[in-house]
Structure 1
Amino acid sequence: MSAASFARRAVSAARWRLAMRRYRAGRFRMRELLRAGAPGEIAVVMCLWNRRERIDAVLTQLDAQQGTRVRLLLWNNRPSDDDYYRERIAAYRPHGALAEVSLFSSPVNVGGLGRFFVARQLWTAGDRGAFVMLDDDQDVSDHFLTDLLDASGPHIIAGIWAWTMEGEYWARTPAEPGDRVSYVGTGGCACDLEIVSDPSFFTELPRYFAFLEDIWMCGYARKRGWVLRKVDTPVEFVLDETNQHHTLAERKAEFYRYLQLDDSR
């Protein structure tokens, strides 16, 4: 490794450690998060990275939700897109469920873990109950949130991307609606905010696996006796070619083994 390459990696690692310390403590500028949600509101947290063209569809679909008011909390890991997002958000005129749209720009790309930093600040602000995580490559129906919330509850993670594992991460079987499962993906799930009530959710996550927050969420919850379950609600995945999971396949299997999440025992 060249001296210049080593120096860049050292700077990147130092920035990551600093960001992690700040974010775990809730020290990031998102004033709107300092309040707890009003009655009837649900927080929907979404991480942004490389699909900025999706923001209009996201706003439209969440504004169309039935039976609840929506606080859309966006964590952007690519600050160069900030102006675009702010312009599109400012141009959109909510006429339905959207009660709030807030954008936080992270100078350090912390991947999907950012959604849990937002959840942590919601918890410290006094929010309790479920929050929802959604990915920007998912199209949802107008009853998406009510379907998830109907399946949620204390110490429950309920989502659409749910599997039963048999010894290995890739040795898995799709779950049926209502099934108690081994794994629920963060995209399209409702999770009890208590998942981040203890800072150990962040401090015990190994740096090497930090971009696999979905597997960590499931392992952390199951170790504490939580229930993971499958929810049946229509969701369509789009722009699959932009999904980072294609580059993380081997590491996902490695992390699953590391956590020893084996339903065949």
Structure 2
Amino acid sequence: MVQVCLNGARGTADGTAVPMSPEALARAAAEAVAAGASDIHVHPKTPCGQDTLSPRVLAATLEAIRARVAVPVGVTTGAWAEPDPADRVERVRSWTALPDHASVNWHEPGAEEIAAALLDRGIGVEAGIWSGTDGSARFAASPLAPRVLRVLAEVTDTSAHTAEASAHTLLAALGTPGRPVLLYGEDGGAWPVLRLAGRLGLATRIGLEDTLELPDGERADSNARLVTAGLLQYQAARSQGHSRPRP
């Protein structure tokens, strides 16, 4: 599976290619799915471009995207969108339109309560485990771990030279989580980690949230171009992984 992450916490300063409004997100989603993405991750935005968990904005974003595509659509519950954990839980409980899944960063305060609120509403939970945090230990001890949809293993090391090693360290810390793993990196680490996911046969993601550049360093002008390049890189790496002799 290759998920597309359409915008993330990026804003207008990152360029006009980053979709912000529900209509722009819907167009970007349709193009990315046509390019081969099979799942969507999106950050609904206020009119001024800030991430939000507002039920009104979420409903408008989901409605616009679902009018154009039929693949699962997920959203963020990152603390930056609603800093107070109790307020975040109340936001989830107030949603009038429900995403197929939502990411929960396990190192953030209130992660367990937010995940429980999502599960209570029938929303799949993507457990975000960031490298360089205690997220893997918290997740291993969580009674909710067996109930999540998948684990998002996020490599926060943005160096193209060391991100792959950081990914191996993160995967070792996760051990065998008992749920599917989606492995991905960001900025300079995005492409090395995507290729590693291909070699390991893990799901991955790509999009303007994670990188603004194509593998050759050219500026990406759309999520669709990133997905097209990502699938080529992923499939080549997966073939390389399958061709290696077994010990």
Task: Provide the TM-score with structure 2 as the length reference.
Answer: 0.29
Task: Provide the TM-score with structure 1 as the length reference.
Answer: 0.27
Larger radius of gyration: 1
